Amino acid sequence: MRTCMTKNKALERALSALFGMIGAALLAAVPQTALAQEPGWQLDPDGRIELGAVSAESTTRDEQLVIDGDAFTVRAQIGLDLEDDDTRFRIEADRIEVIRPEEGRSNSQRDRFTVLVQQELDDKWELELRGRHYDDYVTAESSDTDEYQVSAAVTYEPTREHRFRARGTWREREYASAAGPETKGDGPRVDLQYRRRFDRYHYLTFDLRAESITSDDPQRGYQRQSAKVAYTQPITPDLRVRPAVEFINTEFDGRLTLDGERRNDQLIVPEIEALWWPGQFRVEAEAKYIFSSSNEQLREREGYRLTLSVGYVF
């Protein structure tokens, strides 16, 4: 994001201090014998590298850096887990580089830093606290957003066949603007999920989401509701497919139609995803088609979105 050098350095120092304190806390939380992988606490690093390709005429959700056109992506992720039978601490860093081969398109990137703790209360209930920072990512209201977020989630799984999850998130955002100073926004998001498990990698999942952003720039504020149903079907032990359909309704605060009404966009998005995970390789392909309607005629459009990625986890 186009910010001053002082702000960038301050952000880097803050993040370094945050992860340094967390790392020190993790090391201090358990005896040194745990680091030798003795019974009890276990320290487990992991990573992922990934190459991908995108061809898109539209987009449907946050974090999709390619709004339209073609691109290649390079992704790297590193993480560290510290856990015992009931508690898990995790720190993670994730970066995506987007390479745009089309003339006149600039390359971009998205960084994400995550800290979380999960606590099993018993064999049915689990709590999670999570903090995240995004740098330079695409949101509903801006193509260049920085975000800090905190969230809490509770999971209830009375049996392996049924799982319920609720998450509440608060987000603080900053938006870059080529025409003027940066603006800010904030607001809550609530997610509800029910998953029906039939067998290993065989699920039926329902998701509901409600969110809003209030901003000092009326062009940024919005309210959004969405609903999604997905069915995951294993084909072989390493291959499964996931058809899904999603409905998204977005109403903007300060974006008005020619008739003076608040702009209201609605999307219906059928999609299908294939996941092939032989060994430590991760091959994933997704095809979706976005049907759009709006009370602003210029926003009534539709288009496809195709993605393919090949990754390796270690």
Written as six digits, the tokens of 79 are 């993480």
Q: What is the CATH number of the domain that holds 249?
A: 2.40.160.40
Interior angle at CA 143, CA 285 and CA 55, nearest 5: 25
For residue 220, give its domain range: 5-313
In this predicted model, what pLDDT tens digit does every residue of 79-134 receive, in sequence order? Answer: 999 999 899 999 999 999 999 998 888 898 999 999 999 999 999 999 999 999 99
Please list, in sequence order, all residues whose beta carbon lies within 8 angstroms of the beta carbon of residue 285, skipping any fewer than 6 positions away: 273, 274, 307, 308, 309
131 SS3 class: strand
Beta bridge partners of 78: 47, 93
pLDDT of residue 3: 46
Written as six digits, the tokens of 273 are 């995803």
Beta bridge partners of 155: 126, 165
In this predicted model, what pLDDT tens digit does every residue of 35-46 receive, in sequence order? Answer: 445 568 999 999
Do the strands 145-159 and 162-175 form a parallel or antiparallel pair, or are they unpaired? antiparallel
Our count of domains for the chain comes to: 1
* Amino acid identity for residue 86 in this structure: D
On the question of pLDDT at 237 being above 80, the answer is yes
Q: What is the DSSP string of 76-114?
A: EEEEEEEE-SSEEEEEEEEEEEEE--STTPPPEEEEEEE
Q: Model pTM?
A: 0.84
Interior angle at CA 173, CA 170 and CA 175, nearest 5: 165
Q: How far apart are CA 242 and CA 39, in angstroms?
A: 38
pLDDT tier for residue 11 given thresholds of 50, 70 and 90: very low
In this predicted model, what pLDDT tens digit does every residue of 193-209 receive, in sequence order? Answer: 999 999 999 999 999 99
Written as six digits, the tokens of 162 are 């049924």
Sign of the dihedral through C-alpha 209, 300, 292, 143: negative
